[in-house]
Structure 1
Amino acid sequence: MIELTALGWAALTAAALLIGVAKTALPGAATISVAVFAAVLPARESTAALLILLIVGDLVAVWIYRRQVDVPALLRLIPSVVVGLILGALFLAYSDDVVMRRSIGVILLTLTALTLYLMKKGTLSSDNALANPRIRGGYGVLGGFTSMAANAGGPVMTLYFVAARFDMMRFIATQAWFFFVINVVKVPFSIGLGLLKPEVLPALAILTPVVLIGAFAGRRWVRRFDQRTFTRVVIVLTVISSLYLLR
């Protein structure tokens, strides 16, 4: 089992709680947990350790929101996301931690600014975000890439669903199902790259109940949000996550 200080355990516990909340209430917030895990554990190995906890949160979210998911929107994303996953695995195999983290931070900040600008101009509407293959493909490739390379695909897909003007529950449900599928697909890549190591499994077993608590707490909390507040919060979390990756 990995050896951690009391402060390290406290940080991972808080991050695990946030994973659960992010999966059922605040899409994109899990990137903050990514940053915490990377600070406590070696960055490359932390991506695989965190992946297991993300899947636990995904399982709760897809069960809770099983009726609100937009299946056609998900199916249209699959081809481009697969391309992104492959590119992300290659990038992860050949880059160091600093290059990986900063590259993704720059991608996320650039994409955030571009998305908000195009939405304000009216160039990026709900119709073309969902139907235009170039727009959909661009977000899909970046979502798969950032998800595979650093478990940071949440902000990219948050921006996509914001651009598509999904209502709050449809947003959370579709994103939950999207990342459940993506994270399961990522497991063989992580094992093949030697990132998922046996010594982290006991720690993950301890943290799993914390994720579950966060997920059910998030489900109760999200009912207090209105659509405008929800959209603003997820965009702010996306920017915060992106800035942290640039450190």
Structure 2
Amino acid sequence: MTLATALLLAVAALIIGFAKTAIGGLASISIAIFAFVMPTRESTGAILLLLIIGDLVAVRHYWGDADLGLLKRLIPAVIPGLALGAVFLALVDDTMLRRSIGILLLVMAALQLVLLWRAPDTTRIASSHAAAIGTGVASGFATMTANAAGAVMTLYLVAQGVEKRRFLGTGALFFFGVNLCKVPFSVGLGLMGLGTLRNTALLAPLVLLGAWIGLRTVRRLSQARFDHAVLAATVLSALVLVLR
């Protein structure tokens, strides 16, 4: 591993921790970094373990703010989405997977952009049973193939008008459960080897540091301006993957 690669992975690990306790949309940058500097299949397993570490911190601090009613509507549809994602991973090659991740991130960024001009009846639509099922399936597929379900959940929760701490608590419990469910799929697909475990052990302290920084800055974040910056970074990261 070159010094440049190590530095990029270190930055990605810091971002994962920060995203889990502050702004989830930032995690897409880490996904793009991992897929850019590592074999794409290996990157999905390596980043999954780091995401789970970040999830543990987020659940520890925000579990009391989770909206269990929202989670009950979403969870039943996640498993079919995970299964579809696992089938997709088994069928495509590394190049197709990398580009699919990039395209998926672009789509998720576009959906986030729609939120800036969402119609007045968005909350009514997002509250429907069909929207909950669609969000669950899309989250399962996106997280299994690219660890990129954060943007799907962001779209759903923001459209629900969820305030910041409720948003963080609901997302923390949702992704902790979903990411744990993904581990058997990832092991079965051969995405987690000894090298993955070694890299996770080396990068885990940086995830914890990023989470610590996120916890101490979330109250002072200018949400609107920061979301715009995250959206722009997501688009740039996705373009790198698609055009590489």
**Given the two structures, how large is their TM-score scaled by the length of structure 2?**
0.90
Unpaired stretches in structure 1, ≥5 consecutive residues? none
Summarize deviations over 1:199-247 as a string: whole Å, max 9, x none. Answer: 2222211111110010011011111024544554554455445444433
Q: Which moved more, 1:172-181 or 1:234-243?
A: 234-243
| Identity across matched positions, percent | 49
Unpaired stretches in structure 2, ≥5 consecutive residues? none
CA distance, structure 2, for counterparts of residue 118 and residue 221 of structure 1: 24
1:164 counterpart residue number = 160
1:17 aligns with 2:39: no
Q: In the alignment, which of 75, 89, 108 is matched to residue 78 of structure 1?
A: 75
Relative to structure 1, the CA distance from residue 10 to residue 115 in structure 2 (aligned partners, 3 Å threshold; closer, same or farther) is closer
The 5 A counterparts of 1:33-182 are: 33-110=30-107, 112-113=109-110, 117=114, 120=117, 122=119, 124-129=121-126, 131-182=127-178
Q: Secondary structure at the match of 1:207?
A: helix
CA distance, structure 2, for counterparts of residue 104 and residue 38 of structure 1: 8
Deviation at 1:97, TM superposition (A): 2.6
Conserved? CA contact 1:119–1:163, under 8 Å: no
Q: Secondary structure at the match of 1:196?
A: coil
| Aligned amino acid, residue 163 of structure 1 | A
Relative to structure 1, the CA distance from residue 107 to residue 54 in structure 2 (aligned partners, 3 Å threshold; closer, same or farther) is closer
CA distance, structure 2, for counterparts of residue 121 and residue 58 of structure 1: 29
Count of equivalent residues: 243
CA distance, structure 2, for counterparts of residue 111 and residue 35 of structure 1: 13
Q: Secondary structure at the match of 1:246?
A: helix
CA distance, structure 2, for counterparts of residue 113 and residue 195 of structure 1: 29
Q: In the alignment, which of 197, 203, 207 is matched to residue 207 of structure 1?
A: 203
Conserved? CA contact 1:115–1:163, under 8 Å: no
Q: Secondary structure at the match of 1:28?
A: helix
Deviation at 1:125, TM superposition (A): 2.3
Relative to structure 1, the CA distance from residue 161 to residue 208 in structure 2 (aligned partners, 3 Å threshold; closer, same or farther) is same
CA distance, structure 2, for counterparts of residue 242 and residue 39 of structure 1: 10
Deviation at 1:12, TM superposition (A): 0.9
CA distance, structure 1, for counterparts of residue 60 and residue 220 of structure 2: 20
| Aligned amino acid, residue 90 of structure 1 | V
**Given the two structures, how large is their TM-score scaled by the length of structure 1?**
0.89
CA distance, structure 1, for counterparts of residue 160 and residue 241 of structure 2: 26
Relative to structure 1, the CA distance from residue 16 to residue 113 in structure 2 (aligned partners, 3 Å threshold; closer, same or farther) is closer
Deviation at 1:150, TM superposition (A): 1.3
CA distance, structure 1, for counterparts of residue 162 and residue 241 of structure 2: 27
Relative to structure 1, the CA distance from residue 233 to residue 178 in structure 2 (aligned partners, 3 Å threshold; closer, same or farther) is farther
Conserved? CA contact 1:87–1:145, under 8 Å: yes
Relative to structure 1, the CA distance from residue 58 to residue 117 in structure 2 (aligned partners, 3 Å threshold; closer, same or farther) is closer
